Structure 1
Amino acid sequence: MRSPIHETNDALPIVILGGGFGGLFTALHLRDLHSCPIILIDQSWSFVFKPLLYELLTSEVKLELICPRYDQLLHNSGITFVLGTVEAIDLDQKQVELDSGLKYSYRHLVLALGSTTSYLGIPGAKEHTRLFRTAYDVFALAQHLRNRLQIATQTEDITERLALLTVVIVGGGASGVEIAATLADLLPTWYIPLGGNPEEIRIVILQRGDDILKESTSDRLRETAKSALKGRNASVEVLLGSEVKEVHPGAVEFERNEQQWRLAAATVLWTTGNATHPVIEALPIAAENRDKRDRLLVKPTLQLPDFPEVFAAGDCAIDPSNPQPATAQVAYQQGAAIAHNIKALINGKSPTPATVNLRGMLMKLGMHESAVEIFDRYEIKGQLGQAIRLSTYLEFMPTPARNFVNRTGWFAEEILKQIARV
């Protein structure tokens, strides 16, 4: 099938694959470029503000804020949104094919497809665990947990009831710790009105390594997180050195201290194991231009070494000279840098290295509470930390995305509520 836009090179579009932080904000920063069309392709109708999915679970913020539709965010921007799943990329022919059969030739291509979940070859992990990556995951988890709490109130057998009230979280990285702290505060608020005893609720983190948050935070923030986990409304246990061997319906088998353990749990959350997107993995890129995780190595300008018309950002790429964590604040700054360099190339100028300024770490540590470490110097926690975390994420959203949020008034309202509690 011929591309809908397939004429001279100057008339070909900039095609952006993936509407996450990197892809969406590349598009938004290109919206004033009128010399060629811009196409954003994503497999979902809505953007997902993943750092705030915890607030969606706890109803601290509204769905419309966390998952605004692309047609709302891109309204009057001149950017074309295409709903579709990328099937293949032909780098030599400069063409993208979707599962629908549509093909798009491009002048410049932006790869921002993110990562997928790896279950590390563990039997039963895919079938019997839950993810926390989308709004659907959040609502499905909430329904599941409420159902288990209801059943627990009508279960007299103590062993069966405790299994219903046990949540196992595989992975002690930032996502695992944040969801553990959130659930430890949230579940008692759901269980007590049912007549349940919150002391029976058990949250267990299974961490393979010798510490939590080993690679994602500073020592100070790690200690803050450990302290926060101990002060929640329900019990949170961290079992270090625990290697999951198999997941069954209602139970997890793991090895710890050279012993085999079986933990009965009605809910198992999977927060570890990121894998390179299959489309990125299938690209004919030489091994020397990939890292050990199969991510694409890019130049400081975020271009592919052998394909300068192709840029990559976020989870699917890494600049070996300046590696950055896979966080929202990095991806949105990379989006701005890619847009700047595409404009430079179109105007006959040279691209410049991307500059990423890490403002600090933002971590959700319970309902209405967060810890914020600013520029590796200052740490603010509790309710004020939550207010700063929310306002910082708002700042990540450039116009027109930020304008959309401001028009709703929801975000400002939530920040004021947080500050009022301090």
Structure 2
Amino acid sequence: MSRLAAAAASVRRRAGPSGPGASRKPAAPRPTRGTAAAAPRDRVLDCAAMAGRRLLILGGGFGGLDVARAVGRSRAAREYWDTLLVDKENFFQFNPLLPAVAVGAVETRHIVYPLRAMAQHRHIRFQKNKVMAIDLARREVRLHNDLVERFEVLVVAVGSETNYYDIPGAVEHTRPFKTIVDAMTLRARVVELFEMAEQAETRDQRRRLLSFVVVGGGVTGVEVAAELMEMARETLLPKYGSLHRSDVSVTVLEAGDRLVNTARPAHSAYVQRFLERRGVQVRLQAPVVRVDPRCVRLADGSVAEGFTLIWTAGVRPPQVVRGLPLAHADDGRVRVDPRLRALDPDGRPVEDVFVIGDCGAVADGRGGYLPRLAQVAVATGRHVGQELVARARARAPARFGYKGKGYIISLGKHSSVVELMGVPFSGRLAWLLWAAYYLITMVGFRKQLEVGLDHLTHLLFEHDSSQILNRRQILSDEELNLSLGAPEPRSAEDPDRGAA
């Protein structure tokens, strides 16, 4: 169908029936909850005037954002699809820079991009809401607040959640590191604990307060550990005269035999040497079996104590995806075909249901699946977006193809490891490549400029040590009321004093 024909069909759909029995001015359809017809008529973006099939995109992360942008860039696709993007937040979050946010190297708002502004610019609709259930049989999605959205084509890109692997105590006693709020809270907690440690009257108290354990030696875990140690030693310790470098401890626990097992072995070894030179303790082949308050118990019977326990051991799709009646990989992701359509339990593709990003298990051609990386989410989102644009132009769909560009692991402003198109780099040059690559991939020129200035500022100046959050947001009642005074010595006349 030509573009002119598509436009004519769009006009006919909007105009309604014609002919001898048709009314000259058909009555407006009755507005129903969750439909575009219920939108106010004076809204800048006249959603009721939008024509086409209902396209519902769940999730505004790397994958979902690229689908929405692809559809919004094409006039033919905008006319063909009535597109709605739904996300539980009203912003896109650039996850690779979360560790930098956690230590103040990058400002919080500089790594987020407003989804509503993007939607308005691309002439699509956006709703901030949480997906509660997906009914594939009825072709509808139930949202929070008893809202229902119907769809003809569905793109599932709701991202992932922290995976605790059913380890007892992990949820209750560790801190996740998945969202921008997690990063902000961790930074505030580190500064607050330094304030408390500076007032502690014994060395044991100081060491206890400034002990950190990171569970998981993947990319996120090693980046958090490196940034934590850099912030502690270069920014905070010089400001607290009573504290010593030996008072701070950061431990990384990894169940495997090397850090960042998705990287080449030489880079894994480089990362470990770098962390250990900076004072980070690395424990390999240390699977966690239980987590108690401020204590991680390992399979060999040993323990790792820490006042702050950070969990970066893995992710999984949310329950709304794991519970779908589809074919799933062992890690909970939905298996997809070469066009990224979901597969049913018999291995047949479900028409017009696409699953991308961290929710989709895409075969890698070697008996496994592509890793859950931002670049994979971008690639799958771009492919689905192109297919939807091709359908609007009456063109045949294509098969998904992926070739990894490499990986980037930041170790603070002093070093990084990078593999770009098969060429490995490490050291300060790799850090410059890391900074340049993320500047290019940031969404919007304003964000590129802001993050670029953050990197330049971080190179020239130290981290900002201000703590602006309420203490009760980052410390428990027990931690707030922790005794920092030295225990009083026992008196010979009162041997029972202080006994519990």
Confirm or deny a common fold (TM above 0.5).
yes
The equivalences for 1:11-410 within 5 A come to 11-31=52-72, 32=74, 33-35=77-79, 36-188=81-233, 189-195=235-241, 196-214=243-261, 216-232=262-278, 235-256=279-300, 260-285=301-326, 289-305=327-343, 306-322=349-365, 323-367=369-413, 369-382=415-428, 384-397=429-442, 401-406=443-448, 409-410=449-450
Instruction: Tell me the CA shift for residue 415 of structure 1.
Output: 5.4
Instruction: Tell me the CA shift for residue 10 of structure 1.
Output: 6.8
Tell whether the 8 Å contact from 1:148 to 1:266 is kept in structure 2 after alignment: no
Give, in whole Å, the separation in 2 of the partners of 1:60 and 1:68: 18
Q: 1:394 to 1:74 in 2, by over 3 A?
A: farther
What secondary structure sits across from 1:110 in the alignment? Answer: strand
Tell whether the 8 Å contact from 2:356 to 2:380 is kept in structure 1 after alignment: yes
Tell whether the 8 Å contact from 1:314 to 1:331 is kept in structure 2 after alignment: yes
What secondary structure sits across from 2:91 in the alignment? Answer: coil
Tell whether the 8 Å contact from 2:99 to 2:220 is kept in structure 1 after alignment: no
- Cα deviation, 1:312-368, whole Å, max 9, x if unaligned, reads 111111122543221111111211111011122333332111232322111111235
Give 5+ residue unaligned stretches, structure 2.
Answer: 1-31, 38-47, 344-348, 462-500
Compute the RMSD of aligned alpha carbons: 2.3
- Cα deviation, 1:21-79, whole Å, max 9, x if unaligned, reads 01111111111222222211110122111100122123222222212221233342112
Give, in whole Å, the separation in 2 of the partners of 1:336 and 1:419: 34
- Cα deviation, 1:355-382, whole Å, max 9, x if unaligned, reads 3232211111123532211112231432
Count of aligned positions: 405
Tell whether the 8 Å contact from 1:131 to 1:270 is kept in structure 2 after alignment: yes
What secondary structure sits across from 1:337 in the alignment? Answer: helix
What secondary structure sits across from 2:98 in the alignment? Answer: helix
Instruction: Tell me the CA shift for residue 86 of structure 1.
Output: 0.3
Q: 1:158 to 1:52 in 2, by over 3 A?
A: same
Instruction: Tell me the CA shift for residue 156 of structure 1.
Output: 2.8
Instruction: Tell me the CA shift for residue 107 of structure 1.
Output: 2.4
Q: 1:402 to 1:204 in 2, by over 3 A?
A: same
Q: 1:263 to 1:219 in 2, by over 3 A?
A: closer
Give, in whole Å, the separation in 1 of the partners of 2:353 and 2:435: 33
Tell whether the 8 Å contact from 2:258 to 2:268 is kept in structure 1 after alignment: no
Percent identity (aligned): 29
Tell whether the 8 Å contact from 2:203 to 2:247 is kept in structure 1 after alignment: no
Give, in whole Å, the separation in 2 of the partners of 1:387 and 1:72: 31
Structure label with greater radius of gyration = 2
Give 5+ residue unaligned stretches, structure 1.
Answer: none
